[in-house]
Amino acid sequence: MHRTAAVILASLLTSAGASTQSSPPSQPPGFVNTLMPQPANLSTQEGRLTLAPSFAAAADRYRDARLDAAIARSLNRLSVRTGISFSTSPSANGTSSALTISVDGPGEALQSVDEDESYSLDVSSSGARLQAATVVGAMRGLETLQQLVQSDATGYFLPAVSIHDTPRFRWRGLMIDCGRHFIPVEVIRRTIDGMAAVKLNVFHWHLTEDQGFRIESRAFPKLTGLGSDGLFYTQEQAREVVAYARERGIRVVPEFDMPGHTSSWFVGYPDLASAPGPFLIEREFGVFDPVMDPTRESTYKFLDAFIAEMAAIFPDRFMHIGGDENNGVEWKANSHIQAFMREHKLQNTAALQNYFNQRLLKILEKHGKHMIGWDEILTPDLPKDIVVQSWRGFDSLAAGAKAGYSSILSAGYYLNLMSTAAEHYRVDPLPETNRLTPEQQARILGGEACMWMEQTTPRDIDSRIWPRTAAIAERLWSPRDVNNVDDMYRRLSVESLRLEALGLTHISQEAVSLRQLAGSEEIGPLQVLASVLEPVTFHERAHMQHPNQLTPLNQIVDALPPDPPSRHNFELLVRAYLQNPATQLQEGTKLTSEFKAWITAEPGVLRLMAGSPTLALAQARAEQLTKLGTVGIEAISYLSSGLPAAAGWKAENLAVLDEAEKPQALVRFTVIKPLRDLVNAVPESSSR
């Protein structure tokens, strides 16, 4: 009987990987650096500050309600972590306190991209001092403080460090598409908690889509009344989210995607559209024809009133107008619109969209907002205070920067694609090889992770966002040369637990979903299988399943996190073993026991599948796991003994891996590449 493979692997790596993976050589042996994102400057000393009941915090310079609340939250988290009951009210007098917080002032009344987020944190055995120019800077430092807490048999402590930290990029966001699947407010709140923990500073709230209009409009009640299935945020809830984010130093940028992606608007207000209607909430996913009619003054009158209303709810200087994926079909089919284009000498639908954007821009300006939109909005006649969000890549970013436009990168940060943390981590908004001038470089403001929701529901969203987004957050905050993937994964596994402490369900959801699928609390064997599976890519799933908005997302794929810890841990173990199979006996034994666990799991998994038709869709995967285990055991047996395999063994076993690698049942194995390395390393006799 077995624990899950993920757990086995984590256990193996405690001894196998930790010593070579932990901290840079400059740090004293007692200090384990688990900071994420890594600070710009860190030096360590010998010594520690013990966390005892007397530990208290005081702001000795500027103080306000937001800072006090942040300090109280921070102390409360320390209490829960350590079991020590700290006074959670910051004291006015810093003399007797272990933690002194010195803040120059409140920072911007309305946080912008120019907010000073830098801070310094000095911990010695006699106390800690956090210094920052702004309250937001102090909040960033308090998150670092949380990440510094360590424990050993003697108790909980902060190691002696000196940190001077400032972000590399000023715009570090997470977008959530609440249009395609609605996300309840409490999930938004805990997501914001996670963002604050990894020092993200923009929550980009994608509020309207073909599949749903998610924000209450009192001026136009049919937007949600007919376009939301009753699933939307009230204005009060939206204001609460804005306030909640501001309390954590996070801006909220709302997106109202137009002129395309607007089917849900037209259900209640068909006169906005370029085709006659009637319209329905779109249930399929993709690019659709419905698009606003940019030739009618009534459209702009509507948008003026709507944006006035939204501007009162969302105080951020930026408003996102989408602008993406307008296929122009309805514009071309509408003779009135065609006549308008001729009349205004608009050569093509892109030119007409530019006309629309120009009109929209004036409305935004009237209501005090800068425009941000996707790649497609960028045309030379837009003013330089707009921001372009690139889903196309760095080249598009660079072209914008050269033309004088500010931009942020999202290409490479699409969480829905089911890429690995390492893949996201390697994407840099400003690669070392860029050929931009310093002035142009400064126009690249940062980036945003994007959680598109076609294949995700509130049940599994946490595991799609976390912990991978922490790797993206580090890319956007930390210096460019913080780029060691192994070290990132080592720290990511610690950060993942810290994020769980905030109430995020990215770890726990897997077992919850597997229990539901199995209809049983007895899911041990299923967890073994699940630990070496992950979702196929977004595009593979779209192709294989064609899910729409009404498709129940309740298969094994929906239980599994992308890029599970087992993937990297297994790779490390195989890498360590292959350094010298004949002498790496411990690793060999561990691999063999892991492979045996795979084989042993099959009967139990098949038993569960027999009672669960949904789970049974993945039956072939259970059978393949036994084959993979067999391949592994044979490979280890040859490699450890040094004896060659019979001719043909390699081809035969690589074929097993090739077969298992194919996407099937919407899932793929995480262990194929290291298994292939093992098989390829086996010497083979030249004759059969």
- Is the CB of residue 78 less than 8 Å from the CB of residue 108? no
CB of 405 to its own copies, least distance (A): 41
Which helix (H) or strand (E) segment holds residue 408: the answer is strand 406-409
Interacting residue with its own copies among 523, 559, 573, 645 (CB under 8 A): 523
Q: The tokens of 346 are what?
A: 């608009």
Q: Interaction with its own copies in 528-567: which residues (CB under 8 A)?
A: 550-552, 554-555, 565
Interacting residue with its own copies among 74, 82, 354, 416 (CB under 8 A): 82
Q: What is the largest CA-CA distance in the chain?
A: 83
Which C-beta is closer to its own copies: that of 322 or that of 604?
Answer: 604
Q: Is 58 in the site for its own copies (CB under 8 A)?
A: no
Q: Is 155 in the site for its own copies (CB under 8 A)?
A: yes
Interacting residue with its own copies among 347, 381, 521, 687 (CB under 8 A): 521
Q: Interaction with its own copies in 610-649: which residues (CB under 8 A)?
A: 610-614, 616
The count of chain residues that interact with its own copies, using the rule CB under 8 A, is 59
CB of 571 to its own copies, least distance (A): 17
Which C-beta is closer to its own copies: that of 497 or that of 582?
Answer: 497
Sequence-distant (6+) residues with CB within 8 A of 8 are: 2, 590, 593, 594, 597
Catalytic residue among 325, 500, 661, 684: 325
Beta strand spans in 9-126 (E)? 41-50, 57-59, 99-103, 119-124
> Helix crossing, 672-681 with 649-661: angle to 10°?
170
Beta bridge partners of 684: 645
Query: Measured between alpha carbons, how far is residue 495 from residues 2, 141, 229, 507, 577 in Å?
Result: 26, 16, 37, 12, 27
Looking at 4-12, 41-49, 372-380, 669-677, which segment touches its own copies (CB under 8 A)? Answer: 4-12
HSE at residue 63, side-chain half, CA atoms within 13 A, is 17
CB of 82 to its own copies, least distance (A): 7
- Catalytic (active site) residue 309: no
Which C-beta is closer to its own copies: that of 442 or that of 497?
Answer: 497
Per-residue b/e over 505-525, b at no fewer than 16 CB within 10 Å?
bbbebbbebbebbbeeeebeb
CB of 54 to its own copies, least distance (A): 15
Which C-beta is closer to its own copies: that of 523 or that of 678?
Answer: 523
* CA-CA-CA-CA dihedral for 213, 327, 394, 540, to nearest 10: 80
Q: Interaction with its own copies in 493-512: which residues (CB under 8 A)?
A: 493, 496-497, 500-501, 505, 507-509, 511-512
Which C-beta is closer to its own copies: that of 296 or that of 515?
Answer: 515
Q: Is 50 in the site for its own copies (CB under 8 A)?
A: no
Site string for its own copies, 474-493 (x = CB under 8 A): -------------------x
Q: The tokens of 660 are what?
A: 């298992």
Looking at 8-16, 55-63, 202-210, 570-578, which segment touches its own copies (CB under 8 A)? Answer: 8-16
Looking at 36-44, 161-169, 328-336, 517-525, which segment touches its own copies (CB under 8 A)? Answer: 517-525
Beta strand spans in 452-545 (E)? 533-535
CB of 509 to its own copies, least distance (A): 8
DSSP H helices, 230-347, are 235-246, 263-268, 297-313, 329-333, 335-343
- Is the CB of residue 308 less than 8 Å from the CB of residue 363? no
- Is the CB of residue 103 less than 8 Å from the CB of residue 134? yes
Distance, in Å, from the CA atom of 364 to the CA atom of 321, rounded to the nearest integer, reads 10
CB of 245 to its own copies, least distance (A): 18
The two beta strands, 41-50 and 155-165, are: antiparallel
How far separated are the first and last CA of the chain, in Å rounded?
37
Which C-beta is closer to its own copies: that of 208 or that of 555?
Answer: 555
Looking at 16-24, 153-161, 353-361, 672-680, which segment touches its own copies (CB under 8 A)? Answer: 153-161
Q: Is 522 in the site for its own copies (CB under 8 A)?
A: yes
Which C-beta is closer to its own copies: that of 57 or that of 361?
Answer: 57
Interacting residue with its own copies among 55, 62, 156, 169 (CB under 8 A): 156
Distance, in Å, from the CA atom of 176 to the CA atom of 457, rounded to the nearest integer, reads 11
Looking at 305-313, 368-376, 609-617, 636-644, which segment touches its own copies (CB under 8 A)? Answer: 609-617
CB of 60 to its own copies, least distance (A): 24
Which C-beta is closer to its own copies: that of 297 or that of 521?
Answer: 521
Q: Interaction with its own copies in 180-239: which residues (CB under 8 A)?
A: 184, 186, 236
| CA 588 to the chain's CA centroid | 35
Which C-beta is closer to its own copies: that of 75 or that of 411?
Answer: 75
CB of 253 to its own copies, least distance (A): 25
Which helix (H) or strand (E) segment holds residue 576: the answer is helix 565-578
3: number of Cβ within 10 Å:
15
C-alpha R_g of the chain: 27
Looking at 148-156, 395-403, 646-654, 678-686, which segment touches its own copies (CB under 8 A)? Answer: 148-156
Residue 343 identity = E
Distance, in Å, from the CA atom of 392 to the CA atom of 282, rounded to the nearest integer, reads 25
Return phi, psi of residue 155, to 5°.
140, -165
Which C-beta is closer to its own copies: that of 10 or that of 485?
Answer: 10
Distance, in Å, from the CA atom of 159 to the CA atom of 42, rounded to the nearest integer, reads 12
CB of 493 to its own copies, least distance (A): 7
CB of 655 to its own copies, least distance (A): 30
> Helix crossing, 65-82 with 135-148: angle to 10°?
10
Catalytic residues: 325
| Interacting residues toward its own copies by CB under 8 A | 1-3, 6-8, 10-11, 14, 79-85, 88, 151-156, 184, 186, 236, 493, 496-497, 500-501, 505, 507-509, 511-512, 515-516, 519-524, 550-552, 554-555, 565, 593, 597, 610-614, 616
